[in-house]
Amino acid sequence: MKRVCANTVGICLFMIVLGLGEASTALAQRRVTFPPAEAPPPPPVKAPDKTEASGEDTGVIPDPGPSQRKTQTRTPPPPTNLTVMYKLEYGETLEYVHTDGTVQTFEQWKSFPNDGYYLMASVNSRLEDGNNYQYATKPLASEGFDPIDIPLLFMAGDYDFTFSPEEVDNLRKFLSEGGTILFNAARGRDEFSQAVVREMRKVFPEKRFMRAPQDHPLFNARYRVPKVMTLVNGIQFQQPPEIYTLDIGTRAAAILAPIGMGAAWSSEPYHPQGKHLVGESAVRLGVNLVSYVLGATEYGRFLAQEFPVYDGRTAPGDVFRFGLLAYNGSWDVNPSLQNSVLQGLSENTGLDVDYAPVAVALDDPELGDYPLVFMTGHYDFQLTGEEADGLKAYLERGGMIVATAAAGLQPFDIGFRRELQKALPEGELIKLPATHPLFLGGWNPIERVEYTPTALRDDPTLEYPEFYGVFLDGRLAVLYTPFDLMSGVNHESNAYAKGVSADDATRIVINAITYALSH
What single DSSP character describes residue 109? T
Q: What is the pLDDT of residue 76?
A: 63
- Strand-strand pairing, 228-232 and 251-257: unpaired
**Size of the chain, expressed as the number of residues it contains:** 519
Q: What is the pLDDT of residue 6?
A: 37
What's the number of CA atoms in the CB half-sphere (13 Å) around residue 453? 7
Mention every residue, 6+ apart, whose C-beta is less than 8 A from residue 279. Answer: 229, 264
Domains, the chain, with CATH or none: 26-38+78-303 (3.40.50.12140), 310-518 (3.40.50.12140)
3 state DSSP class of 89: strand
What is the enclosing helix (H) or strand (E) of 404? Answer: strand 400-405
Mean pLDDT by 10 residues, the chain (519 residues): 37 34 53 83 46 35 38 63 94 94 93 94 92 95 92 97 96 97 97 98 97 96 96 94 97 98 94 95 97 96 85 62 91 89 82 82 92 94 96 95 96 97 94 90 82 94 95 94 94 94 91 83
Q: What is the pLDDT of residue 184?
A: 98
How far apart are the C-alpha atoms of 153 and 241, rounded to whole Å? 21
pTM to 2 decimals?
0.85
How far apart are the C-alpha atoms of 406 and 409, rounded to whole Å? 6
Tell me if 277 sits within 8 A of 270, measured CB to CB: no
What single DSSP character describes residue 36? P
Q: What is the pLDDT of residue 317?
A: 58
How far apart are the C-alpha atoms of 24 and 262, rounded to whole Å? 35
What single DSSP character describes residue 368? G
Instruction: Output the CA–CA distances (angstroms, integers) from residue 488 to 93, 113, 137, 151, 197, in the order listed.
Output: 49, 43, 37, 24, 32
Tell me if 464 sits within 8 A of 500, measured CB to CB: no
What is the enclosing helix (H) or strand (E) of 197? Answer: helix 190-203
Mention every residue, 6+ apart, whose C-beta is less than 8 A from residue 96. Answer: 31, 32, 33, 34, 35, 36, 103, 104, 106
86: number of Cβ within 10 Å: 25
How far apart are the C-alpha atoms of 27 and 20, rounded to whole Å? 10
How far apart are the C-alpha atoms of 326 and 360, rounded to whole Å? 6
How far apart are the C-alpha atoms of 5 and 15, rounded to whole Å? 9
Mention every residue, 6+ apart, whose C-beta is less than 8 A from residue 348. Answer: 443, 444, 506, 510
